[in-house]
Amino acid sequence: MLISPYNQMLIHLDEYFTISVLNFPITDLIYVVSHDVHPPFHYLLLKVVSDILTFLGLEFDKIFIYKIMSIVPYAIMLILSVTKIKREHGYLTAGLFAFSIAVTSEFLAYYSIIRMYSWGILFVMLAFIYLKDIIDTNDTKAWILLTIFSVLAAYTHYFAAIPIVCIYISLFVYIFINDKEKLKFWFISSICGIILYSPWILSLITQVTGVSKGFWIPAITLKTFIGFFGYFIAPGNDIYISIFSIAVFIALAINSLILSDDINKTDKFYIFCGIGVFVGTILIGTIASIILKPLLLNRYLLPSVAVLWFTIAFMVSKLNDKRRFMISFALILILLVAGIGTTISSQDYWIDKNMSRNEFFNHLSEDNNTIVINDAVNKMFYLEYANCTNMYVVNKSYELYGYNLSELHDTFDFKEISKEDVPKLIKNNKDKDIYILTKKPDYNKNIKTTTVAKTGSHAILKVK
C-alpha cells in the first residue's frame, strides 16, 4: 500500500505548495517558508536530498523521491519497533504499535503526502520513547536525545511542538514529586532546546501575527471538538464513530488502569503522560483557537495520536491478569477493525477528492495548445506548472511569500496579466484550450466556464 505507484503519484492539494516552493534555491528557502505558517525542517530536508541527487548526476522523478521521503519516517518507526521497542517492552507493544499507526486515523494517507506530518510523528514518538529511559535510568544519552528530537519536532510542525510541551510538563511534575535532584537535568534540557530553537523565534512571531489577522481554518464546533478525541480511529467527520471510539477507549482505560493492579507506579505515570499528550494537544489547540483564530485541524493531531497508540500498546502489554488482558485486547481489536474500515474509506476519499485535479495537471503538462490563467487564492500552489505550460498570473496581489511577483520570473516561467485584461486574452486565443485557476467557481459572469475540479476554495475552470 505504501509503495504502490498509483498511491504515490497522486498529488494532494497542499503538496502543490511544497513542490512549487522547492524550486527556490536552498539559500532562499527559509525566507520563503518564513512567510508561510509552518517551520522549515521538512522543506530543507527535501531540498538537501534533491540537491545531493542532482549533484551526483542521478536522474530521478522528483515527485517520487519526495513521496518516498515521507514514507521514510514510518520505515524508521518499523525498525524502531523490531529493535528498541521489542527489546525493552516486548513483542506485543512493538507489534500493536507498528500495526496501529498504519491502519488507524489518517496515518496511511499522510505517509505518502509530500508534507511534514510523518516527520513530525517520528520526532514526537522518539522523544516519547526516550522519555521512558529518563524515567527509568536518568540516562544522560536519553536526556540528549529527548532534547534533540524535541527541537526537531518543533522545527517540523507547531502541532508537533505542542505534544513536546506536554511531555516536558509531565516530566517536570513527575521529577518534582519523585526525585527533585533530576530537576537540574530538566532545566538544562529545556534551556538547550530554547537556545537551539531561538533562530526561528522571530519567524514564529511573524507567522503567529499573520495568522491572528485571519486564517482559513474553520471555527471549532462541538462536533469537531468531539471529533478531535475520536481522531485516533477515524478522520473525525463521523460523530457516531468518534463517540463510539471514545467510549471503547474509556472502557479500555478503566479495565487496564483503574480496575487492575498489574501496572506499577512508574509505568502508570508513563501511560497517563501518553494520554495527557493526546488530550493536552487537543485542549491547547482548542484554547488557542478560541483566543486567537481557529488553528486546529484533525491532521495536526497525528503526532499525538501516535503517542496515544504507543501508550495503548504499552498499557495492555503490562497486564498479567489473563481475564483483564483478554478484555483489553478484545477492545483494542474492536478499535483496530474500526480503524481499518475508516482507513479504507479515507483512502477512497483522498482519491475521489484529488483525481480530477491530478488528471488535469497531467494533461496540462503534455498539452502545448493550452493557456492557464492563475488567479488562485494561493498562486504558489500552482507555479510549479508555470514551467511546463503557458501560464498567466493575475497580478492583483503583487507580494507572494515575501517576494514581489516580478521577482519570481527567474524561478518560474510565467507572464503577468491584470484581471481586467483576462477577457481580452480569452478573446484573442479562441483556438486554444483556456483554463482558470481560481477560488471562485463564478469567476466572471461574462466568461462562460465549466468546472473541471474543485476542492475547498480552489477551483479549476475551463473556458467554453
Whether the pLDDT of residue 4 is over 60: the answer is no
Residue with cell 485516533: 232
Who wins on pLDDT, 327 or 208?
A: 327
Tell me, yes or no, whether 328 and 401 share the same domain. no
Tell me, yes or no, whether 403 and 344 share the same domain. no
Query: Binning pLDDT at 50, 70 and 90, where does residue 442 land?
Result: low
297 burial (CB, 10 Å; 0-12 / 13-18 / 19+) is: middle
Report CA Rg, the chain: 24
Mean pLDDT, residues 232-243 taken together: 85
Tell me, yes or no, whether 70 and 153 share the same domain. yes
Query: Binning pLDDT at 50, 70 and 90, where does residue 454 land?
Result: confident
Our count of domains for the chain comes to 2
CA–CA gap between residue 10 and residue 195 (Å, rounded): 39
Specify if 195 maps to a domain: yes
CA–CA gap between residue 112 and residue 125 (Å, rounded): 18
Please name which of 37, 111, 81 lies closest in space to residue 302, comparing C-alpha atoms.
Answer: 111
Tell me, yes or no, whether 80 and 118 share the same domain. yes
CA–CA gap between residue 456 and residue 315 (Å, rounded): 40
- Whole-number pLDDT of residue 445: 75
Tell me, yes or no, whether 339 and 371 share the same domain. no
CA 231 from centroid of its chain's CA atoms: 14
Q: Which of 292, 318, 352 represents a domain boundary (last residue)?
A: 352
Tell me, yes or no, whether 283 and 402 share the same domain. no
Q: Measured between alpha carbons, how far is residue 251 from residues 153, 220, 360 in Å?
A: 32, 27, 48
Specify if 359 maps to a domain: no
pTM over 0.95, yes/no = no
User: Which is it for the CA torsion 200, 203, 207, 213, positive or negative?
Assistant: positive
Q: What is the 3-state secondary structure (H, E, C) of 268-331?
A: HHHHHHHHHHHHHHHHHHHHHHHHCCCCCCHHHHHHHHHHHHHHHHHHHHCCCCHHHHHHHHHH
Mean pLDDT, residues 44-60 taken together: 92
Are 16 and 382 contacting, i.e. CB atoms less than 8 angstroms apart? Answer: yes
DSSP β-ladder status, 415-417 and 433-438:
unpaired
What are residue 238's phi and psi, to 5 degrees? -110, 105
Whether the pLDDT of residue 26 is over 50: the answer is yes
- Whole-number pLDDT of residue 354: 78
Are 66 and 52 contacting, i.e. CB atoms less than 8 angstroms apart? Answer: no
- Which range marks the domain in which residue 50 is found? 5-352
Tell me, yes or no, whether 256 and 377 share the same domain. no
Kindly state the helix (H) or strand (E) to which residue 462 belongs, with its residue range.
strand 458-463
Give the pLDDT confidence of 280-316 residue by residue, as tens digits.
Answer: 999 999 999 998 889 999 999 999 999 999 999 999 9
Percent residues over pLDDT 70 in the chain: 95
Tell me, yes or no, whether 124 and 42 share the same domain. yes
Whether the pLDDT of residue 277 is over 60: the answer is yes
Tell me, yes or no, whether 102 and 154 share the same domain. yes
Query: Binning pLDDT at 50, 70 and 90, where does residue 8 land?
Result: low
Tell me, yes or no, whether 376 and 294 share the same domain. no
Kindly state the helix (H) or strand (E) to which residue 454 belongs, with its residue range.
strand 449-455
Whether the pLDDT of residue 58 is over 70: the answer is yes
Of the listed ranges 65-79, 258-272, 296-310, 432-446, the one predicted with least confidence: 432-446
Q: Which of 330, 352, 374 represents a domain boundary (last residue)?
A: 352
Tell me, yes or no, whether 174 and 132 share the same domain. yes
Mean pLDDT, residues 53-57 taken together: 91
Give the pLDDT confidence of 211-232 residue by residue, as tens digits.
Answer: 766 677 889 999 999 999 999 9
Tell me, yes or no, whether 299 and 404 share the same domain. no
- Whole-number pLDDT of residue 5: 45
Specify if 36 maps to a domain: yes
Please name which of 246, 152, 138, 127 lies closest in space to residue 184, comparing C-alpha atoms.
Answer: 138
- Whole-number pLDDT of residue 342: 80
CA atoms within 13 A on the CB side of 464: 8
Are 150 and 164 contacting, i.e. CB atoms less than 8 angstroms apart? Answer: yes
Q: Which of 295, 327, 352 represents a domain boundary (last residue)?
A: 352
Specify if 427 maps to a domain: yes
CA atoms within 13 A on the CB side of 253: 15
